[in-house]
Structure 1
Amino acid sequence: MDIEGSDASPHVSMPVTLQSEVERRINGSTIGSQQFRVFFLCLSIGVLDGYDLSNMALAVPLVARDWGVESGHFGAALAAVMVGVAAGNIVLGWLGDRFGRRPVLILSSAAMGVFSLLTMTATDVTVLTIWRFLLGMGFGAGIPNTYAMIADVMPSRQRLLFMTILTAATSIGAIAGGLIAPALTAAFGWQGIFVNRRPIGPPCRRAKGTPRRRVDRLKLGAGFALLAA
């Protein structure tokens, strides 16, 4: 028997979009090796960036002695990196939404590696300040996209855990810098803080006393490895 005036309404299915389907599959599955690899790469970028952000403060006493400049004159160089981080977040952080997370992270990591190496070529405070500012810009562009990438690839039930761990990456890098800086400066002077002697690939012959650029090669490698992630 039909019932007139019934307020029952037929079920209306919501349209399925590619984004919603991908999110549904990620949330309905366990974390795989591909997701762990993306997380490790993002974590590596954060750790190496934390090292870069803190190493200037460790180098100032030695640079000041080498250049014959008082340590107080390096205030602008120390502040420049943080100003660059803020500027990079505001001006460049959105690029990941426009062009994708991976390209922005690759370019950000490459910029961090290049400007870190250029830091040790500086011969005065002004040039040093410029390199540190640009290094901060690279960090500011990349770090928001590491969080966004982890949010994209991790299931919602475990997303907060991995993003919390990622938050600690910069601090871990800064701590590591403080621990290894004395050995690097003892062996190579203040320039040794910005490079590391041990290779990341097979050993090869080199001139005695030439430091390997491990930190920056790792940074570049972590960024470019995202191409395969």
Structure 2
Amino acid sequence: MTVYQWLIVACAVLLNANDGFDVAAMSFVAANVEREFDLSGSVLGTVISATLVGMAIGALVIGRLADILGRRWTVVGSAVLSTVGMFLAATSQDVVQLGVWRVLTGIGVGGILASITVITSEFSSARWRGLAIGVYTAGYGVGAFLGGMAANGLQTEYGWRSVFFVGASVSVFIVLALAIITPESVQFLLTRRPRYADKALARIAKRVGYDPAKATVAQQVDESAPREASSRLSDLFTRKVIVATLLLWLAFFTVMFGFYFVNSWTPRLMGEAGMSDEQGVYIGMALAIGGTIGSVLYGVIAARIEREKLALAFLVISAIAIIAFVLSTAMLTIAMILGVVVGLLVNGCIAGMYSIAPTRYAASARGTGVGAALAVGRIGAILAPMFGGAMLDAGWTLIMLYASAAVMLLIGAVAVLLLRRIPEVGGAS
């Protein structure tokens, strides 16, 4: 791994941190938004889910475009779209406007994740890919933690809209960094062969030091793939990959349901446990701190242990930890500690899914495959906050709400267990 390769990973970390800041900021300001617009739990859950709706659309549509047009500019364009959405969210005067701008933000974020996940995987060596994906995924926790700090400080002085304004302002600099540093996907250049492919490959070769005629940076090119390979959604349902596709979709759906339920609702639900709004934000920040540790920890261990086996362990232990956490909410200190543990584990689960997904498809369909899996995962992410709000209105207890998230993670564990029995595709290990 050269310095330039780690710079690409650093850009991915910044992008994911921006995602974490934005998504977590909405959960941290939820109490003030709920009061200002006089919302029920169900409506608040829908507003929280608005970003996730956009992320599902962006992951599927822009992930598909990335395989056709290239991944570099779809990443940059998606980042611009996300930034505009965040700025506009800061101007919202009613809940409908806020929901619309959050969808727009989500489309950008979804497009970013579909493309940058593939780029990070491709520009990481086989040995360090697990760590690179883990560090990249850790960006979410860093951003969420900073979102919590911003929410507590800015809301008191300037109101909840200022949190989005600050996030959007920082995002402008991230867009500039992306445009300067992020290269085009080598595997896209080799399989699609756009007119600028030779110059782009030579430029990347000079920066990284490899022979573009023989292999990608990670030496992961599927040499049997046709150079003019086309990418269609139907490629995900061929006899060779259909079972892997369906298992990936189930795993992403359940894992993201559990992840986004815990991260989106926990600060608000701590009020149901008798905590103040400020204490609820602190618990949310504990989740974020744990998330940062967990993603990196997954990456470090993944260099030594099979990815699917490690993801399976994280999923099962996460389910147990979530139940322990909700039973501890009467004791703030213990809840904070267990919040860090839960954040560590559920973010490790996400890192696991991000590292597994690109290995299941050939280079020509990798963006489409990862984008589709993320889109299905976003459906779970969308339903989680809405489910939480509806069940809260229906009188569900905290233990019932969190137990449902734990069950979803266990279902994801079963999907990963079955996925272990299916060989990887195209040498993308």
1:40-63 CA-partner distances (Å, limit 9, x unpaired): 111101001111112112223223
Instruction: Tell me, yes or no, if structure 1 residue 139 matches structure 2 residue 109.
Output: yes
The secondary structure found in structure 2 opposite 1:156 is coil
Instruction: Tell me, yes or no, if structure 1 residue 45 matches structure 2 residue 45.
Output: no
Gaps in structure 2 of 5+ consecutive residues: 182-429
* Alignment match, 1:220: 172
* Alignment match, 1:70: 39
What is the TM-score with the length of structure 2 in the denominator? 0.40
Q: Does structure 2 conserve the Cα–Cα contact (< 8 Å) formed by 1:60 and 1:71?
A: no
**Segment drifting more, 115-124 vs 169-178:** 169-178
Code of the aligned partner of 1:70: L
Code of the aligned partner of 2:168: D
Q: Does structure 1 conserve the Cα–Cα contact (< 8 Å) formed by 2:59 and 2:111?
A: yes
1:180-199 equivalent positions in 2, closer than 5 A: 180-196=150-166
Q: Does structure 1 conserve the Cα–Cα contact (< 8 Å) formed by 2:62 and 2:114?
A: no
What is the TM-score with the length of structure 1 in the denominator? 0.72
1:21-52 CA-partner distances (Å, limit 9, x unpaired): xxxxxxxxxx2222222111111010011111
Q: Does structure 2 conserve the Cα–Cα contact (< 8 Å) formed by 1:105 and 1:142?
A: yes
Larger relative contact order (CA 8 Å, sep ≥ 6): 1
Percent identity of paired positions between Structure 1 and Structure 2: 28
Larger helix proportion of the pair: 2
State the alpha-carbon separation in 2 of the partners of residues 220 and 91 from structure 1: 23
State the alpha-carbon separation in 1 of the partners of residues 69 and 169 from structure 2: 24
Q: Does structure 2 conserve the Cα–Cα contact (< 8 Å) formed by 1:35 and 1:153?
A: yes
State the alpha-carbon separation in 2 of the partners of residues 59 and 92 from structure 1: 29
1:164-205 CA-partner distances (Å, limit 9, x unpaired): 221222233222212331111112111121133xxxxxxxxx
Structure with greater Cα Rg: 1
How far 1:142 sits from its partner (Å)?
0.7
1:8-157 equivalent positions in 2, closer than 5 A: 31-67=1-37, 69-72=38-41, 73-157=43-127
State the alpha-carbon separation in 1 of the partners of residues 141 and 82 from structure 2: 17
* Alignment match, 1:3: none
Code of the aligned partner of 1:218: V
How far 1:216 sits from its partner (Å)?
1.9
Gaps in structure 1 of 5+ consecutive residues: 1-30, 197-214
State the alpha-carbon separation in 2 of the partners of residues 57 and 191 from structure 1: 13
State the alpha-carbon separation in 1 of the partners of residues 176 and 70 from structure 2: 14
Code of the aligned partner of 1:176: L
The secondary structure found in structure 2 opposite 1:165 is helix
Code of the aligned partner of 2:170: L
The secondary structure found in structure 2 opposite 1:117 is helix
Cα RMSD for the two superposed structures: 1.7
State the alpha-carbon separation in 2 of the partners of residues 75 and 228 from structure 1: 38
State the alpha-carbon separation in 2 of the partners of residues 70 and 141 from structure 1: 30
1:125-162 CA-partner distances (Å, limit 9, x unpaired): 11111111111111111112111111222222211210
The number of residue pairs the alignment matches comes to: 180
Q: Does structure 1 conserve the Cα–Cα contact (< 8 Å) formed by 2:10 and 2:136?
A: no
The secondary structure found in structure 2 opposite 1:185 is helix
State the alpha-carbon separation in 1 of the partners of residues 40 and 14 from structure 2: 31
How far 1:101 sits from its partner (Å)?
1.9
The secondary structure found in structure 2 opposite 1:94 is helix
Q: Does structure 2 conserve the Cα–Cα contact (< 8 Å) formed by 1:105 and 1:223?
A: no
The secondary structure found in structure 1 opposite 2:63 is coil
State the alpha-carbon separation in 2 of the partners of residues 102 and 217 from structure 1: 22
**Segment drifting more, 69-78 vs 159-168:** 69-78
The secondary structure found in structure 2 opposite 1:102 is helix
Code of the aligned partner of 1:63: V
